[in-house]
Each structure stands twice: as C-alpha cells, then as structure tokens.
C-alpha cells in the first residue's frame, strides 16, 4: 500500500520552511554572554593573584621595600597584568561585537568590514601582536612574525571563518602571556622565600628550638628540687628568652605561609586562565561550524572553564578573609 502523495501546496510550504531554516544564523548572544562571564573571572582572579604580594613589604637586594614603591616586585606584576586585563576586555568586546553584528541584519554590507574591525581591535590589545594591511587592503595580523590575512566578507559565516585563524593565534599568544606571568609571580615569591623569609625563619628556629629544649630540662630538674634557686633563675631566664623569640617566629611563619599560599594560588589561577582562553578559542572555532551546520554554538567547555575560574576566585576570597581575620 503506497502513501498518498502530498498536496502541492504542502510540498511548497515544506520547501519554504527548509529554505528558511537553511538561512537562519546561529544566535551568538550566548557566546557573548559566556565570554563576559569568562572575562569577569579572569579580571577578578588576576587582581586577586597579585594583591597579597602587593600588600606586604618585601626584601629587595637586602633592603625592605614598602608596598606601592616603584621598586616593589608587585609594581612590575601590576603593570604587566594591566596589559593582559586590557587584552581580556578586548576578548569581551570582540565577542559582543560578533553578537551585535550578527543581529544587525538590516545592513548586510556592514558585515564586510565590521568583523574585520572587531578582529583589528582585538589584535591591537594583545601585547606582541601587530596589525597591518596588505596590498589588497585586507587586514594582516602578525603573530610571532607570521602574517595571517583576515578578508572582509558580506556574509557572517564567511566573515567568522576568515577571522578564526587570526583569533586562534591571538588566543595562543594570550595563553603564553598568562604562563609567563605565572612564572614571574612564582619567581618573585620564591625569591622572597629563599632570600629573606626562610633564612630569617631558620635563624629564629635555630635559637628557639635549643631554648625550648633547655626549658624542658630545667623543668625536670626543678620538679625534683623545688627549692633549687639556680635552676629557678635559669628557667626564668629561658622563659624570658623564649617569649622574646616567639613573636618573630610566629610572624615569620605567617609570612612564609602567606607567600606559599600566594605562589600556589597564583599558579592555580594562571593555569585556569590559560584553560579559559583555550576554551574561548575552541568555542570561537565552533562558531564556524555552527554557521555551516545551522545550529547554536557548543559552549559546554567554555562554561566548565568559567566554573573552574570561579572556584579559584572563591579560594582567593576565603584565603584573604582568613588573613584579614583578627
């Protein structure tokens, strides 16, 4: 038994519906929103990673340097981070631009240059990336000496596809920058641990532990003869000496712990930030495929990385609250 043929009007309606579905473009607002969450986490985490070091005096070439001084190691880190913060904000601006351009269906000619301009602004904000134009007037993004052309297209799918290689290269540079900042922060904190905090703590420990042992021995002697005046006098002297050492010991141990926490938290943050940039680049590449396949972009990895950043930031906040507590 054969099915009855569909009426011509219904066939025409189905064909029209399929044509419309083929012309639909993905909604890029979720990509822009996810990028905003990601960049917010990067900016917050970057500020918090440097804050503990920036707030304490440190030894530089044997001299104690106050917070905020130009020669304080955190001053360099703050300056370096300001550039990367601007680059992260440029990622947000680029992502929002894509969503806005995609929504602007009334003037399709604007797409031809708008996406290229968005890439230009993104590239210009990333240290180590340069922009120029070739003889044909196309944008050329230079990353590590290699030029990547970004051609202008009037349809959004082609424009995003043309931009993607440059975006991937720019994301790679920014990820390397985060790794370099992580190494810089670790170097500074390790220097403080090895050149000032640890030696000073070792010296106090060297004095403190023998005093404590002698106290114990004197107490044992005094327990056998409470009338022994010389033992009582020596015990009082040792008590006074130990009491004088304890504030330095407590302060040095606390400083060492803070530096070690700063080092660990910084490494965790920059690793999470690098992973976030990877996820953003992967989501951008998926935009190319989402246009070709007429579907929404896959943002699962981006959401996961944003959650990882959020976890790091929560750890920062809990540590800083603990340090601020009396």
Predicted local confidence at residue 326, as pLDDT: 58
Q: How many CB atoms lie within 10 A of CB 139?
A: 23
Distance between CA atoms of residues 139 and 286, nearest Å: 22
Tokens of 121: 């602004």
Q: How far is CA 161 from CA 115, 149, 278, 287, in A?
A: 10, 12, 18, 8
Domain ranges of the chain: 28-192+269-324
Contacts of 137 (CB under 8 A, 6+ apart): none
Tokens of 4: 């009855």
pTM for the model stands at 0.77
Distance between CA atoms of residues 65 and 238, nearest Å: 34
The answer to whether residues 53 and 80 touch, using CB atoms and an 8 Å cutoff, is: no
Predicted local confidence at residue 11, as pLDDT: 33
Question: Closest Cα to residue 73, out of 195, 159, 157, 177?
Answer: 195
| DSSP code for 68 | T
Quickly list H helices, 125-153.
none
Tokens of 161: 């596809």
DSSP 147-196: EEEE---SSHHHHHHHHHHHHHHHHHHHHHHHHHHHHHHHHHHHHHIIII
Name the one residue in this structure whose structure tokens are 């972009």: 297
Distance between CA atoms of residues 132 and 319, nearest Å: 45
Per-residue pLDDT of the chain (326 residues; tens, 9 = 90+): 444 443 444 333 333 333 333 345 788 899 999 999 999 999 999 998 898 888 888 888 878 888 999 999 899 999 999 999 999 999 999 999 998 888 875 445 556 688 999 999 999 999 989 999 888 888 999 998 889 999 888 888 899 999 999 999 999 999 999 999 999 989 888 888 777 676 777 788 788 888 989 999 999 988 888 888 888 899 899 999 989 888 888 888 888 888 888 888 888 899 999 999 999 999 999 999 999 998 888 999 998 888 888 888 888 787 777 666 65
Predicted local confidence at residue 154, as pLDDT: 80
Contacts of 323 (CB under 8 A, 6+ apart): 52, 258
- Find the angle CA(27)-CA(30)-CA(32) to the nearest 5 degrees: 105
Name the 3-class secondary structure at 109: helix
Distance between CA atoms of residues 297 and 256, nearest Å: 46
Predicted local confidence at residue 202, as pLDDT: 77
Predicted local confidence at residue 13, as pLDDT: 38
Distance between CA atoms of residues 74 and 185, nearest Å: 8
The answer to whether residues 27 and 100 touch, using CB atoms and an 8 Å cutoff, is: no
- Residue 6 CA, chain-centre distance (Å), reads 58
């Amino acid at each position: 038994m054969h099915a009855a043929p569909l009426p011509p009007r219904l066939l025409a309606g189905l064909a029209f519906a399929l044509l419309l579905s083929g012309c639909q473009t993905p909604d890029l607002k979720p990509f822009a929103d996810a990028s905003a969450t990601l960049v917010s986490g990067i900016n917050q985490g970057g500020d918090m990673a440097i804050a503990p070091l920036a707030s304490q005096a440190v030894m530089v070439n044997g001299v104690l340097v106050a917070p905020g001084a130009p020669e304080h190691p955190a001053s360099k880190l703050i300056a370096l981070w300001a550039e990367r913060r601007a680059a992260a904000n440029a990622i947000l601006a680029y992502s929002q631009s894509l969503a806005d351009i995609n929504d602007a269906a009334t003037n399709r000619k604007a797409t031809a240059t708008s996406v290229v301009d968005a890439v230009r602004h993104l590239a210009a904000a990333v240290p180590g990336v340069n922009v120029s134009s070739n003889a044909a007037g196309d944008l050329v993004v230079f990353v590590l000496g290699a030029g990547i052309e970004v051609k202008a297209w009037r349809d959004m799918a082609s424009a995003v596809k043309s931009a993607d290689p440059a975006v991937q290269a720019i994301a790679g540079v920014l990820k390397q920058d985060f790794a370099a900042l992580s190494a810089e922060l670790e170097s500074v904190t390790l220097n403080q641990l090895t050149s000032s905090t640890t030696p000073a703590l070792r010296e106090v420990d060297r004095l403190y532990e023998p005093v404590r042992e002698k106290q114990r021995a004197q107490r044992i002697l005094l327990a056998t003869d409470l009338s022994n005046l010389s033992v009582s006098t020596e015990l009082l002297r040792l008590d006074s000496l130990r009491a004088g050492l304890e504030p330095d010991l407590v302060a040095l141990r606390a400083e060492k712990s803070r530096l070690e926490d700063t080092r660990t938290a910084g490494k965790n943050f920059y690793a999470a930030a690098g992973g976030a940039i990877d996820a953003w680049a992967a989501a951008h590449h998926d935009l190319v495929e989402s246009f070709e396949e007429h579907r929404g972009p896959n943002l699962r990895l981006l959401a996961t990385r944003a959650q990882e950043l959020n976890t790091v930031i929560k750890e920062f906040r809990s540590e800083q609250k603990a340090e601020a507590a009396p």
